[in-house]
Structure 1
Amino acid sequence: MKTLIRRLTRYFGDFRPTGDQRLLAALEDFRNPEACELELLRRLIAALRPEDTNDDQSNRRYALMLERLEDDAALRAGFRHHVIHFVGSRRLLSFFTDSGILPGTGFFSEWWRILGNRLLPEVPDERRMKDCLHLIFSDRDDWRWLEAVPAELAHRFWEILAPPETFREMDRRGVQEQMLDALLLLAHRVSGLGLEGELMRASPNLEDDSPRFVALSAEALEFVRGFRAGLDGDDSRFDNGDQLLVIVDQCQDTLNRIRKRALTIGTSLHLSYILTRSEQSLQRITELTRILTAGLRNAPHEVAIRDWTIFAREVFLAENRRHSLRHYMQQLSGVLAVRVTENAARSGEHYICETRTDYHRMWRSAAGAGILIGIMALLKIKAAALGAPLFVEAFLFSMIYGLGFVTIFLLGFTVATKQPAMTAQTLAGLLDGLKPNRQADLERIADVAAAVSRSQLAAIGGNVMVALPVAILVSLAAAFLFGGPPVDTAKAAHLMADLDPLSWAVPHAAIAGFYLFLSGLISGYFDNRAAYANIGPRIARLGWLQRLAGKDRAVRAGDYIENHLGGIMGNFLFGCMLGSTGMIGTLLGLPLDIRHIAFSSANLGYAFGGFEFAMAWQALLWGALGVALIGLTNLGVSFALALRTAMGARRIAFAHWGPLLAALGRRFRQQPRSFLLPPEEPRENGGH
């Protein structure tokens, strides 16, 4: 429809009012003293709202609105009258206590509320300011253009509504009373949350800090009583709120320490929810206290307006995004996401070869995995030949992959494609705080990038260059012992078709790359869960295990499982994802499957044996090209997704890719060997 309108407009002209005309018409309506304030504000916001995402005129129209109000005293008076009456006639308590703050219903209840609102929208109550914001800012994306409004324009808007000459004469008592009620309610809320068992569990010293939370409620009550007495005429009872803000800072310090400890001992969604809600409530107490006491602190009018502008902007944005599932998850993902990605980052450090010794160890580790992958590939081929029912076949594939990857992990071997999802977390940690004008920072990134490159090549080489010959040797042994290769010609042709670069090989490799990324997060999640739930000590307390193995061995078993649970679950579930994708594709009628570089190289070896080692060299090279493309896709997809997730978890908005890529290019030109091989070991002094 929009495209049709644009085409008609191009030929016949646009007879609709322009954005400026609609804005000026909406402003003129404020001259009518009998007009409905809610409808006036809805029409005004509709005129300011961009027509589409490419419309960048909203700020210009916002500035035009301010200029019009500043130039016309009568219009300004009517505008001020309607807006102030609108605010004063609404219930503001929930606006101050709930807008922009997580509700007390809990994580999943709020999740379902947001999803349910998509199907059946809530019925707003026009008597409440909080609900009126949804009627005024009715578009779910209003926060985007509202967020882009410059601070100076927003400041001018509120100065128009509350100029210095009329600010003191305004009837603010009703608004202040609701602010005081909100402040008291928020303080009681934080006091209750601060004594939650989940927080006490996360912080063993919280019992020592609990008097802070109790004192917060008592001090807030004293502040409110004194302030109300001051409003009634007893100026000596006015409290400037300094003591209340000191206790707020103390409570915030306790929550900060819990957050830092959660990065070490693990966290949960429930803990993140309580922490986030408590911090939001403390921030709101601070904002309301500063707004209420602006006059007592002799703050200049401009400072008071600025504080209110910042508060109103944050609340309006948060309330407009209240039904956004993405925004809801972003509020809670901080500690949990960082914790999960930090676990992966620590694992990623083990995949980086700094020295020649590390490099050789990586080769040996990857070669060990290559041997097992060669055997796993044959087991999968034989399982497929059984012709089992669909679910049975998916189960067999999943067990072969899952148990095989767990065995590789427990033996300390390395699968090349597991590296990018881990090393990306390490690189993200280095990008955090990178200063592009500091050569030392860029050189450090270049060092790590070179180490990651040679580590990855070593792992790929160890996997592929062992899995392929293992498959060929197995085919030779089978031909010698049983008179024929383990796969027939038809199966060999099918294996080669799966490696065809012009087939679905690359998209299927991208699916495997996505699973590799997920497996990294799964490993981090279970590492976090093991630490948070004290899995090791709890296993050590199992009575039957102590009787069977003794207390010391039970403790060692618990420690081992706690330290390896993430790797075990990540590898097993990764195998289950690989093994069940084909079945899901068949059920849905979609061409879904996976391709993994190490298994593809083994399949190439079995296909070569299936043709009795008489395959044309062109076909062999074509299959090798398919293996290479599968590997590049596996690594590229998993690395890109892991890097993006890690940067998002750390709230990194990196904008210096140019200098970074230039530094990497310079390093590659000057030291290309460092991207392929480890540095030379320094020679001992005195040697000849």
Structure 2
Amino acid sequence: MLAILESIDQHTTGIEPLVALVDTLRPRRPGNTIRATANVRTLTQLLKGNPEHARQLRDYLIRLLETRRHASLYSEVGVLSNDGFFTELKRRIAYRMLPPAFGDEYLTDALDQVLYKRTDYCWISAVPAADWLALFDTVMTPRPGPNVMLPGLLEAIRTLSYRVAAVGLEPKLTNFHTEMEEFESPFIVQNREVVAYLDDYERMLAGADVMLDVRHLLVMLDQCESVIAKIRKKALVQGTTIALTYLLVTLNQSIERLRKLLYLVDVKSAQGGGHRAAALALALELIQAHGDKYTVRDLFADNIHLLARNVTENASRTGEHYIAENRREMAGMFLSSAGAGVVVGFMALCKLLFGTLRAAPLVEAFLFSMNYSLGFMLIHVLHFTVATKQPAMTASRIAAGLQSPDGRHIDLDSLAELINKVLRTQLTAVLGNIATALPTAWLIAWCWLQVTGHHLVSRDKAMHLLHDIDPIHTPALFYAAIAGVCLFLAGLISGYYDNQALYTRWGRRVAQLRGLNALLGRERTIRLGNYLENNLGSLMGNFWFGIMLGTMGTLGTLMGLPLDIRHVTFSAANFATALVGLDHNVSWQLVVKSVTGFLAIGVVNLVVSFGLALWVALRARRIPFEHGFLLVRALFRRLRKAPVDFFIGSKENK
């Protein structure tokens, strides 16, 4: 460290000595904060002990700063570009494989060369702020002349202001929030205020007696953020897109950075001394953003959580219909799920018949997929309920319940009540599905035998059906988990299409089709459009869920991977079909194992799909949840207090 300081003199201009000096501060392990702090303190003591070294280092750093452009560092690092999500994604992927070339013109390139490890932020941020400020005070002693950082800060403020104005006039925003077309846009007004503020600042630097007042500018930035909040709130009702989400994130980041830079250049804050801590905080933010500027994960984290929030919000609203409040609604849920069980019984029959065709793998996958897809869509149209479709919807509703109005406290008793309603509603739906799927499949197989004179399935096929739901000697539960993942994905797909139907105004678009109006009439076309807008997500979710179920086995065969699905209702129907195929000559042990198998399959279906959906819903809302033990205790308390109501609900809605 001392040798590096001694090598710096008035002729040193390259970046290499600074790179070497930072290398001496960097610990071998990023998490070794004690060593990093000791290194910073050692450097501070060396400079205090030799003021000449401190002066040479200060002059060297100022020469580096004077020969490089600063504005891009303050206005671009940590702020998304205006290129759009997919362009930015492509750029980051390309630069991860082959980083851009360094130059000597921009301060950003110097940061790339000095802090070339992504882990640098870990040890730099771990060093106490007091030690960094002490090092800064030792090196950057008061020196006559202009502030070398100030021109770059002012230029960055101007750049960010123009960027906010440009993004704020994007048609994706103005068309979505039409109020900006009726009144003067705050994004334009803030730019005028920034230009006026910078003009006054330049006159002040030139010696004119100017009173700088940034308060009105900050008010305009508040109004810009208010418009962004209104657009996001409206997007929860009308839907959103990745492009719109990207613009909102870009605006928020630009305005936030603009506020920080205005605080740093404000004369009053500089006199108060708060700018030193603010400058250090901004420096740490830039270092962290610099280390992550080519990471794809952060790009998705900044954007997709907003889109996921809209997707899960739509699923949450749908989930309201999957929660029974009292015994009357529980009975309605049982009847609804019982209707679905009847349809599933016939779907199981079609699948068995398609399997006897011995078609080519892709043709068979298509037939299976259409059987599942059209069957599930028919169940939805008839207002029936498939139990395993509930978790992906109700998990979003629970996540919404976790988000308290104040954002800090969670009412565990109310949450326990909601989860109790979800559990008993899903249990009722599973029992309703099984209660009719079993006898329907048995009746179909028995009628087939009476009409045709031979069984629907052979004895070998019947044993194969029972073997498929064996939870011990086959990967049936693993396949059930795969089906749970498919259910979770179907829930996301439902939310996505609900979001798209709202954002693109499907109802109006369908109502405007002249050919359809001529065929169905105006009123029927309008009703069709409204139905599609309100149910597109559910229909498409069911369709793609059927595709996933129908192709999973074929995909596993083609790829040589253990991929297949097990669904509780179909497993129960296959069990009934196998009983008839074996003329009911089965041991009680096999019956117990089979019944245990399809019940266990149902549990895995529900747990996997519900767990994944709840995890995504919590991430989308950015809700940390650390009350699992207290929540379980609250549920057991409700069970002990009213065990009957816990499982079948109260007589009236509480």
- Is TM > 0.5 for Structure 1 vs Structure 2? yes
Matches within 5 A, 1:288-307: 288-293=261-266, 295-297=267-269, 299-301=271-273, 303-307=274-278
Structure 1 residue 461 corresponds to structure 2 residue 436? no
Contact between 2:511 and 2:517, CA under 8 Å: does it hold in 1?
yes
Structure 1 residue 154 corresponds to structure 2 residue 126? no
Structure 1 residue 331 corresponds to structure 2 residue 302? yes
Q: C-alpha distance in 2, partners of 1:66/1:682?
A: 65
Percent identical residues: 37
SS of residue paired to 2:565: coil
In structure 2, runs of 5+ residues without a counterpart are none
Structure 1 residues 161 and 510: CA distance shift in structure 2, 3 A: same
Identify which of 136, 140, 155 aligns with 1:181. Answer: 155
Contact between 1:45 and 1:136, CA under 8 Å: does it hold in 2?
yes
Report the equivalent of 2:521.
550
Normalising to structure 2: TM-score of the pair? 0.93
Q: C-alpha distance in 2, partners of 1:582/1:470?
A: 25
1:42 Cα deviation (Å)? 4.1
Report the equivalent of 2:103.
125
Report the equivalent of 2:593.
622
Q: C-alpha distance in 2, partners of 1:145/1:106?
A: 33
1:121 Cα deviation (Å)? 2.7
Q: C-alpha distance in 2, partners of 1:457/1:341?
A: 23
Report the equivalent of 2:625.
654
Output the amino acid matched with 1:119: M
Report the equivalent of 1:268.
241
Contact between 2:32 and 2:123, CA under 8 Å: does it hold in 1?
no
Deviations 1:333-364, CA, capped at 9 Å, x for gaps: 24311111111111112111110111001100
Report the equivalent of 2:172.
198
Report the equivalent of 1:215.
189
SS of residue paired to 2:645: helix
Identify which of 227, 244, 247 aligns with 1:254. Answer: 227
Report the equivalent of 1:57.
32
Contact between 1:240 and 1:297, CA under 8 Å: does it hold in 2?
no
Q: C-alpha distance in 2, partners of 1:556/1:81?
A: 76
Output the amino acid matched with 1:444: S
Matches within 5 A, 1:336-415: 336-415=307-386
Report the equivalent of 1:139.
117
Report the equivalent of 1:445.
415
Structure 1 residues 437 and 584: CA distance shift in structure 2, 3 A: closer
Matches within 5 A, 1:579-618: 579-618=550-589
Q: C-alpha distance in 2, partners of 1:161/1:37?
A: 21
Output the amino acid matched with 1:419: Q
Q: C-alpha distance in 2, partners of 1:539/1:195?
A: 29
Identify which of 68, 74, 89 aligns with 1:111. Answer: 89
Contact between 2:501 and 2:536, CA under 8 Å: does it hold in 1?
yes
Contact between 2:8 and 2:17, CA under 8 Å: does it hold in 1?
no
Identify which of 176, 195, 198 aligns with 1:224. Answer: 198
Contact between 1:522 and 1:569, CA under 8 Å: does it hold in 2?
yes
Contact between 1:32 and 1:78, CA under 8 Å: does it hold in 2?
no
Contact between 1:374 and 1:468, CA under 8 Å: does it hold in 2?
yes
1:292 Cα deviation (Å)? 0.7
Output the amino acid matched with 1:506: L
Please give the root-mean-square deviation of Cα atoms over the aligned residues, in Å.
Answer: 2.5
Structure 1 residues 485 and 161: CA distance shift in structure 2, 3 A: same
1:82 Cα deviation (Å)? 4.9
Matches within 5 A, 1:47-86: 56-58=31-33, 60-72=34-46, 73=48, 74=50, 80=58, 82-86=60-64
Q: C-alpha distance in 1, partners of 2:175/2:468?
A: 52
Q: C-alpha distance in 2, partners of 1:432/1:223?
A: 40
Q: C-alpha distance in 1, partners of 2:534/2:504?
A: 13
Q: C-alpha distance in 1, partners of 2:186/2:406?
A: 39
Q: C-alpha distance in 1, partners of 2:269/2:279?
A: 15
Deviations 1:292-324, CA, capped at 9 Å, x for gaps: 11x3446422x1111112222222212211111
Report the equivalent of 1:90.
68
Contact between 2:27 and 2:35, CA under 8 Å: does it hold in 1?
no
Identify which of 254, 257, 261 aligns with 1:281. Answer: 254
1:68 Cα deviation (Å)? 2.4
Contact between 1:500 and 1:623, CA under 8 Å: does it hold in 2?
yes
Q: C-alpha distance in 2, partners of 1:99/1:477?
A: 71
Structure 1 residue 504 corresponds to structure 2 residue 482? no
SS of residue paired to 1:367: helix
Structure 1 residues 66 and 445: CA distance shift in structure 2, 3 A: same
Q: C-alpha distance in 2, partners of 1:447/1:123?
A: 59
1:102 Cα deviation (Å)? 0.7
Q: C-alpha distance in 1, partners of 2:63/2:645?
A: 71
Output the amino acid matched with 2:260: E
Q: C-alpha distance in 2, partners of 1:118/1:229?
A: 44
Report the equivalent of 2:80.
102
SS of residue paired to 1:237: coil
Structure 1 residue 309 corresponds to structure 2 residue 277? no
Deviations 1:247-298, CA, capped at 9 Å, x for gaps: 22222221221111111111111111111111211112211111011x3446
Q: C-alpha distance in 1, partners of 2:63/2:622?
A: 40
Structure 1 residues 37 and 65: CA distance shift in structure 2, 3 A: farther
Matches within 5 A, 1:19-58: 25=1, 29-34=4-9, 38-43=15-20, 56-58=31-33
Contact between 1:100 and 1:315, CA under 8 Å: does it hold in 2?
yes
1:128 Cα deviation (Å)? 2.0
Deviations 1:372-415, CA, capped at 9 Å, x for gaps: 11111111111122111111111111101111111111111111
Output the amino acid matched with 1:311: L
Structure 1 residues 200 and 512: CA distance shift in structure 2, 3 A: same
Output the amino acid matched with 1:452: V
Q: C-alpha distance in 2, partners of 1:643/1:452?
A: 13
In structure 1, runs of 5+ residues without a counterpart are 1-24, 684-688
Q: C-alpha distance in 2, partners of 1:483/1:186?
A: 81
Output the amino acid matched with 2:550: G
1:221 Cα deviation (Å)? 1.6
1:563 Cα deviation (Å)? 0.4
1:545 Cα deviation (Å)? 1.3
Q: C-alpha distance in 2, partners of 1:158/1:279?
A: 29
Report the equivalent of 1:13.
none
Output the amino acid matched with 2:285: E
1:434 Cα deviation (Å)? 8.9
Q: C-alpha distance in 2, partners of 1:514/1:317?
A: 35
Deviations 1:546-597, CA, capped at 9 Å, x for gaps: 1112222211111111000000001101110111111211221111111111
Report the equivalent of 1:670.
641
Q: C-alpha distance in 1, partners of 2:600/2:295?
A: 39
SS of residue paired to 1:412: coil
SS of residue paired to 2:444: helix
Output the amino acid matched with 2:255: L
Q: Which moved more, 1:382-391 or 1:127-136?
A: 127-136
Structure 1 residues 170 and 279: CA distance shift in structure 2, 3 A: farther
Structure 1 residues 590 and 89: CA distance shift in structure 2, 3 A: same
Q: Which moved more, 1:538-547 or 1:110-119?
A: 110-119
Contact between 1:345 and 1:423, CA under 8 Å: does it hold in 2?
yes
Q: C-alpha distance in 2, partners of 1:338/1:622?
A: 42
Structure 1 residues 28 and 416: CA distance shift in structure 2, 3 A: farther
Structure 1 residues 421 and 78: CA distance shift in structure 2, 3 A: farther
Q: C-alpha distance in 1, partners of 2:6/2:405?
A: 54
Output the amino acid matched with 2:527: R
Q: C-alpha distance in 2, partners of 1:69/1:662?
A: 54
Q: C-alpha distance in 1, partners of 2:363/2:218?
A: 64
